[in-house]
Amino acid sequence: MKVTIVGTGYVGLVTGACLAEIGNDVFCVDVDPRKIEILNNGGVPIHEPGLQEMLRRTRAAGRIQFSTDVKASVEHGDIQFIAVGTPPDEDGSADLQYVLAAARNIGKYSNGFKVIVDKSTVPVGTALQVQKVIDEELKTRGLEGSDKHRFSVVSNPEFLKEGAAVDDFMRPDRIVIGIDDDDAGNRAREKMKRLYAPFNRNHERTLYMDVRSAEFTKYAANAMLATRISFMNDLSNLADTVGADIESVRRGIGSDPRIGYHFLYAGCGYGGSCFPKDVQALAQTARENGHTLRILEAVEAVNNDQKEVLVNKIVKRMGEDLRGRTFAIWGLAFKPNTDDMREASSRRIIEALLRRGATVRGYDPVARDEAERVFALDLADRPEDLKRLHFMKTQQDALTGADGLVIVTEWKEFKSPDFWHLKSALKTPVIFDGRNLYEPEAMAEMGIDYFAIGRPHVELGRNGSSN
């Protein structure tokens, strides 16, 4: 099938590569010539495991192309996926300007029946807005009501985890398709059924529903996952106060099959391109419709506060004035297996340490370049602080001579370090662990002062062992 993907970000690139992988003829378009140049030269503008290899195969097979030619992209695909960004507006609502611009181009250059697929995460009612914009363009061209230029707007939200997006697309838990029950919708349904047939051979994964319910489903899914994270983070702070171990609590409640273990890890807050903006957007949708999603507003507030918890532990241990102190930061991206720095907890933590006069040496396996770019913008008005922020090539470079280690992202390479070497490299053998990677008793036995999230702090004896 001939498919067009509008937007070459995480969702667009993964969608395009995976659809090309199973044999479709895919045209990816973007208004950013820098991205297209990178892709046409064999590179990938994002870090996503398995994506570059898949793009290399499909490009060599001639099943995927990249261009800034909007007219050619519309003429190419019978199915037009809109996979552009929907950043939060000032009031927290989703900014739809890029979605509607894509729709306008489709209406401007449409050359036949089109299935327009909203793949971007969009609020309820967006499909209707997309339909109106396309109708306006067709009317301008004198094609309104033309059978040849009819179209159907479909909602097909993505459920891709950054760091595992390729696998999520190729082995989906479910495929949600919201579609109108009319003649155009029936034609669109057949095309979408054919497109996703390879993913349904073992068993039917597609859930058909009305468009508004499909739009709502995406926000509801991310809001639920964010709620689980904030719930555990809130409990972890109480566990700190009452002397409970949140990791034991996690195992205790997660063993209940009605609850399960997923997204029950306490930490230093969620980030990324989805949870923060989607929680805000759903809460704003509720306000616009006269409702208050009290749980979601609490979820956001807890997450905002949670990003300061690790800093508070550092201040309690070392004092408010951190001038002359150096901290190693392991992990900069918001999660492992990505270089995405959007809403990353490291940004809040590092800025807070710099504001208190500390020097920071950050290390991340893949996010170093993106972190340098982001912090140059974040600290543009604080040049003296920026001078005290250094990005290291190895975790050892960050560690040597530091007054403490701060773990922010749970990369695999951080899970089993040489603790004796780590202890000797640090000026002060202290770890502030925002991801609860280690056992407090084991750390105390090695003479490492260990502070985690919602886990008991084991005091060290004078000889460096636990009491």
The residues annotated with a catalytic role in the active site are 274
Nearest alpha-carbon partner for 452 in 407, 395, 400, 404: 407
Gap between the terminal Cα atoms of the chain: 68
Sheet holding 359-363, edge to edge: 389-391, 359-363, 326-330, 404-407, 430-433, 449-451
List, in sequence order, every residue forming a beta bridge with 351; answer none if it has no partner: none
Region for residue 424 given its phi and psi (left: phi exceeds 0; alpha: psi -120 to 50; beta: otherwise): alpha
Vertex 107: Cα angle to 274 and 188 (nearest 5)? 70
Amino acid at site 372: E
Amino acid at site 354: L
Vertex 48: Cα angle to 45 and 54 (nearest 5)? 90
Nearest alpha-carbon partner for 226 in 299, 294, 314: 299
Residues shown for the chain: 467
State the maximum Cα–Cα separation within the chain, in Å, rounded to a whole number. Answer: 86
Please say whether the dihedral angle defined by the alpha carbons of residues 403, 406, 411 and 412, taken in this order, is positive or negative.
positive
Nearest alpha-carbon partner for 121 in 163, 151, 91, 156: 156
Report the distance separating Cα 234 and Cα 406, nearest Å: 21
Distances (CA, A) of 225 to 171, 220, 230, 262, 296: 20, 9, 9, 9, 11
Please report the DSSP string for 449-462 in residue order: EEE-SSSPPPPB-T
| Residue labelled with tokens 């479909």 | 154
- Please provide residue 140's backbone torsions phi and psi, each rounded to the nearest 5 degrees: -60, -35
